[in-house]
Amino acid sequence: MKHRRFPTTALALLASATWPAVAADWPEVPVPEGAKGEIVSDDMLYNGLHMRTSRFTVPLPVDKVKAFYRDEWGRRMIDTPHRGKSVLGYPTRDAKHYITVELTQAGNSTQGQIGVMELPKKPPSADSIGAGFARMPDTTVAEDIVYLDTPARVRTISMVNRYSPQQNSDFYARNLAPKGYVREPAKTPCKTNSAECVVRYVNGDKRITVSSSKSQAGTVVIAVIE
């Protein structure tokens, strides 16, 4: 049986299509026969690293999909269980990119999330992740994503700390007001015992949405900057 490959710049996946390489700098990623999917982001920065992401669905169980990648990548493939999912990793032979495929069982099918990350000669500084966006003391930045293929270059920053959702909400209200941002009325007011607070700030054509919610790890804060 022949298997399909699709370049991460493809706008959609069709099982009957043969995808040509359109960007020599980005490797093609194999998918099993019958896979269908789409691009998620053709150009993004993930914690300072250039990355492309896509997803697919194939009518096969996870074990069959893992076996497919094991045949494709051999011993270089790394299989890591994570929160009930399987995350497959593969460093390309030229050491320029690292490919991840996150597999999730969905009924009789498998959903795959593909990421192709460009490996820099020098890793970005830890201080650059979340740089330029204020946060409360002792806040850890988990993800800093900039979508370069959107007109507004939307940026999403995910953080975690030990403060309450209301404390986080009040912090950003104080921090953003002097910068010209106006707090829009929330559908659900943020209170001392609130498990989640979602607030939107507007400054002309610029928008920032900050959501703070309780979790086992503390309070997760996600800021979407448009």
More confident residue, 42 or 210: 210
For residue 83, what pLDDT is reported? 80
Give the pLDDT mean for 28-50.
Answer: 93
Give the pLDDT mean for 127-138.
Answer: 94
For residue 121, name the pLDDT band (cuts at 50, 70, 90): confident
Calculate the CA dihedral of residues 196, 226, 37, 51 and round it to 10 degrees.
Answer: -100
Residue 174 CA to chain centroid, in angstroms? 29
Give which of 72, 68, 64, 113 is closest to 90, Cα–Cα: 72
Please tell me whether the overall predicted TM-score, pTM, comes out greater than 0.85 for this model. Answer: no
Determine which helix (DSSP H) or strand (DSSP E) holds 160, and give its type and residue range: strand 155-161
β-bridge pairing 49-58 and 78-82: unpaired
For residue 191, name the pLDDT band (cuts at 50, 70, 90): very high
Question: Does the pLDDT of residue 1 top 60, yes or no?
Answer: no
Question: Of 1-10, 32-41, 130-139, 154-163, which range is least confident?
Answer: 1-10
CA–CA dist 133, 149 (Å, integer)? 21
For the chain, give percent helix, strand, coil, nearest 5: 15, 45, 40
**Token pair of 184, please?**
């829009």
